[in-house]
């Protein structure tokens, strides 16, 4: 692990990717970073209660990051079984090591949610 990486949590602008994921119309993953404008932004959520949990957002390129606790999570979110309790720290040090798995987890959840929406509403995502 690269211990000398300095994560920058000084800007909440990175949280803008939450809105992108919630809208999830033809989302590209990795997500476009609102700070450095590269497609290197990621999101991971972990549900603790019925509709509440923690959200991490970060960019692998510019190292901007933030996390919020006790936030309302989308109903479709499912925790990843490959993220251990010890890997959920304020900075995404350990999440970054599993970024490809996290991105694929998000893709699968969005695909499954889109399929549900089509069945219920007979519309596209």
52-90: pLDDT as tens digits? 999 999 999 999 999 999 999 999 999 999 999 889 999
Domain-embedded: residue 5: no
In a domain, 6, yes or no: no
Q: Is residue 7 part of a domain?
A: no
Specify if 33 maps to a domain.
Answer: yes
pLDDT digits (tens, 9 = 90+) for 13-37: 999 998 888 876 678 899 999 999 9
Q: How many other CB atoms are found less than 10 A from the CB of residue 105?
A: 21
Q: Is residue 49 part of a domain?
A: yes
Is 3 domain-assigned? no
CB of 42 within 8 A of CB of 95? Answer: yes
Q: What was the pLDDT predicted at 29?
A: 94
Structural domain including 105 reads: 12-121
Q: What is the pTM of this model?
A: 0.86
Domain count, the chain: 1
Q: How far apart are CA 18 and CA 121, in angstroms?
A: 23
Asked if the structure places residue 63 within a domain, the reply is: yes
């Amino acid at each position: 692990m690269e211990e000398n990486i300095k994560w920058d949590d000084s800007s909440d602008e990175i949280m803008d990717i939450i809105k992108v994921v919630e809208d999830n119309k033809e989302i590209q993953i990795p997500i476009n970073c609102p700070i450095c404008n590269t497609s290197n932004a990621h999101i991971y959520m972990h549900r603790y209660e019925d509709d509440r949990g923690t959200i991490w957002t970060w960019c692998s390129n510019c190292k901007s990051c933030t996390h919020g606790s006790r936030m309302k999570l989308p109903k479709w979110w499912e925790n990843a079984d490959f993220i251990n309790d010890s890997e959920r720290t304020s900075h995404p040090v350990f999440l970054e090591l599993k970024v490809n798995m996290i991105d694929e987890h998000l893709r699968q959840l969005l695909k499954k949610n889109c399929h549900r929406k089509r069945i219920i509403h007979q519309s596209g995502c």
